[in-house]
Every structure is written in structure tokens, then in C-alpha cells.
């Protein structure tokens, strides 16, 4: 399918176009969530984006049991016919052109706030053909662009990515490579190699450090991430305290959630992390901007 970017790409599965976001690249952002992720972070707050395929969620608290469920069978009502919105289809096929037309409606908010469009996931690098075409089409409309990513997949066209993206928001999670591969599947060495490539091409990169109890919050992990961020020549880091905003999504999609009983962190809980980052000369923003 040919789109306004001039490239031929297949449609992508998108779970959500979230408007008026404030912590995803600067200013007011419209965030596009592409479905599908090869990694499995136990703390993931977007479990609905792990599978690349559309799926159905069910919020039991909204269900009025309008459909009989003999023997514990699942609800037979189609999501589009659910009278309370308890049942929802997660993932719709979108083309570059229709997605750009939707996000461009927020252009006035972007202009006033210095915001723009951010692509997230899942891991949006799974669909680099769609991602690049979409970013380029947004830029053709005069929209600023950002990408939230692990940057831990092979890059198909680094120069094209850098040219189409105003800022890359790149995760620094479990610093130890063996443990990262075991727990999440993410290879920090591949991320760093990709970072050196895109930085060499002039990319603007913001490091992001999610602080997750039991996984990324220990002193050794924080120190190693800070050292690596400085070594790579990055100047800013967003410190992201663990939250429980995604817990209900696990219930709605029938997934187990390993961190269900872990208390979320306050800004005060990450003061030590912030101090370490600032002591290393990094501009540090809690929650991001």
C-alpha cells in the first residue's frame, strides 16, 4: 500500500492513540501504541501490546453478564456489541495515511506546547517499515516526532530513522547483560551498539531509567546504567519510578502479573537515584517531559 511518505508498507496493528500525554518527548504529545513486543519485562505496564495480534479484553467490574456462560465458558458477546464497554477489542489495523490524518488533528496543541507525535509499544522497532513511513509522513505534515524504544533490535536503516525522528527515548533497564537477557530478553550490548550508530548520525537521545523494585533499583544497577549513559555521551536521563497503572490490564487480558503486590514508588523513593545521576553531570527529570 502506497502512502504519503512515498514508501510501500503494510498496515500495522495499533492498540491506542493517546492524546494529551505529557511525559513522552516534550510538550503535549499524541502517543501511538504499536502492538507487539519480543521482550517480556515482568513490570511491563502495557501488557496489551505484548502480542502482535489483536485480542479481546474483559473488565469484569463492568460486565453485566448479558451473555450466558454455561460451565464457565467465556462471554460470547462481540466487543462491538458489549452494552457496558466491558469487552474491548485491543488492536486495530491502521494504515500510515489514516493514522497521520488522526494525529495531525492535534497540530495546534503541538505548536502551542512544543509537543508532537510519539510512537511507543510494545516495541515499535518490530515494524520498522511502518514506523519509518509513519514518522516521515508526520514530518511531512510539520509534526515533531519521538520514539520510545529499547533500541535492542537490529536497525534496518539507521540513517532514515535518525532523519525522521526528532528524539529517541531509549530505555536503560537491567544493566547486567546476563541478567537482562534472562529476565527480559533485552541485550544491552545491542542497544549500545545501536546507540553509537545513531549518535554518530546526529540523533538526539534521551536515556530513560525505569526504577523497578527488585530489578533495576539496586545501587550496582543504577551506578552501571549511569556510567554507561555518560560513556555513550548522553547528557539527559529521565528517571521513571515504578507504578501500578498497568495492573488492571493484566486482569482484563487474563495475564499473570508478577509485580501485583509490589508497592509503587513515590518521587521521594527515587531521590537517591536522581542525586547519583545529577552527581554524574546528567540533566535529570523525574517522570520525563
Q: What is the pTM of this model?
A: 0.93
Could you list the pLDDT tens digit for every one of the 289 residues in the chain? 545 545 678 999 999 999 999 999 999 999 999 999 999 999 999 999 999 999 999 998 898 888 877 777 778 889 999 999 999 999 999 999 999 999 999 999 999 999 999 999 999 999 999 999 999 999 999 999 999 999 999 999 999 999 999 999 999 999 999 999 999 999 999 999 999 999 999 999 999 999 999 999 999 999 999 999 999 999 999 999 999 989 999 999 999 999 999 999 999 999 999 999 999 999 999 999 8
Strands (E), the chain: 12-21, 29-34, 55-58, 87-90, 92-94, 116-120, 145-149, 167-171, 205-211, 236-241, 283-286
Q: Can you give the pLDDT at residue 21? A: 94
Counting other chains too, the contacts that 158-164 makes at CB distance below 8 Å and 24 or more residues apart are 158/194, 158/197, 158/198, 158/201, 159/201, 160/132, 160/136, 161/128, 161/131, 161/132, 161/135, 161/198, 161/203, 162/198, 162/201, 162/202, 162/203, 164/132, 164/135, 164/136, 164/139
Q: What is the pLDDT of residue 60?
A: 87
Q: Round to whole Å and give the CA distance between 218 and 272.
A: 11
pLDDT at site 2: 47
Amino acid at each position: 500500500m502506497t502512502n504519503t511518505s512515498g514508501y510501500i508498507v503494510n498496515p500495522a496493528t495499533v492498540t491506542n492513540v493517546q492524546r494529551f500525554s505529557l511525559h513522552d518527548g516534550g510538550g503535549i504529545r499524541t502517543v501511538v501504541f504499536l502492538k507487539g513486543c519480543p521482550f517480556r519485562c515482568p513490570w511491563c505496564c502495557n501488557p496489551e501490546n505484548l502480542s502482535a495480534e489483536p485480542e479481546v479484553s474483559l473488565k469484569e467490574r463492568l460486565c453485566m453478564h448479558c451473555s450466558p456462560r454455561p460451565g464457565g465458558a467465556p462471554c460470547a458477546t462481540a466487543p462491538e456489541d458489549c452494552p457496558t464497554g466491558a469487552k474491548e477489542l485491543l488492536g486495530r489495523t491502521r494504515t500510515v495515511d489514516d493514522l497521520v490524518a488522526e494525529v495531525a488533528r492535534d497540530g495546534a496543541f503541538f505548536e502551542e506546547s512544543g509537543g508532537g507525535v510519539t510512537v511507543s509499544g510494545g516495541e515499535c522497532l518490530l515494524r520498522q517499515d511502518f514506523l519509518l513511513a509513519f514518522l516521515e509522513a508526520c514530518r511531512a505534515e510539520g509534526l515533531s516526532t519521538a520514539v520510545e524504544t529499547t533500541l535492542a533490535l537490529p536497525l534496518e536503516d539507521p540513517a532514515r530513522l535518525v532523519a525522521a525522528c526528532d528524539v529517541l527515548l531509549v530505555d536503560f533497564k537491567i544493566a547486567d547483560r546476563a541478567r537482562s537477557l534472562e529476565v527480559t530478553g533485552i541485550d544491552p550490548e545491542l542497544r549500545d551498539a545501536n546507540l553509537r550508530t545513531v549518535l554518530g548520525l546526529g540523533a538526539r537521545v534521551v536515556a530513560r531509567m525505569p526504577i523497578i523494585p527488585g530489578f533495576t533499583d539496586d545501587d550496582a544497577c543504577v551506578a552501571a546504567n549511569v556510567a554507561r549513559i555518560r560513556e555513550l555521551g548522553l547528557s539527559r536521563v529521565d528517571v521513571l519510578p515504578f507504578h501500578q497503572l498497568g495492573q488492571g490490564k493484566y486482569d482484563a487480558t487474563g495475564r499473570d502479573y508478577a509485580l501485583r503486590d509490589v508497592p509503587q514508588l513515590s518521587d521521594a523513593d527515587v531521590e537517591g537515584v536522581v542525586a547519583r545521576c545529577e552527581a554524574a553531570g546528567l540533566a535529570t527529570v523525574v517522570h520525563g517531559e
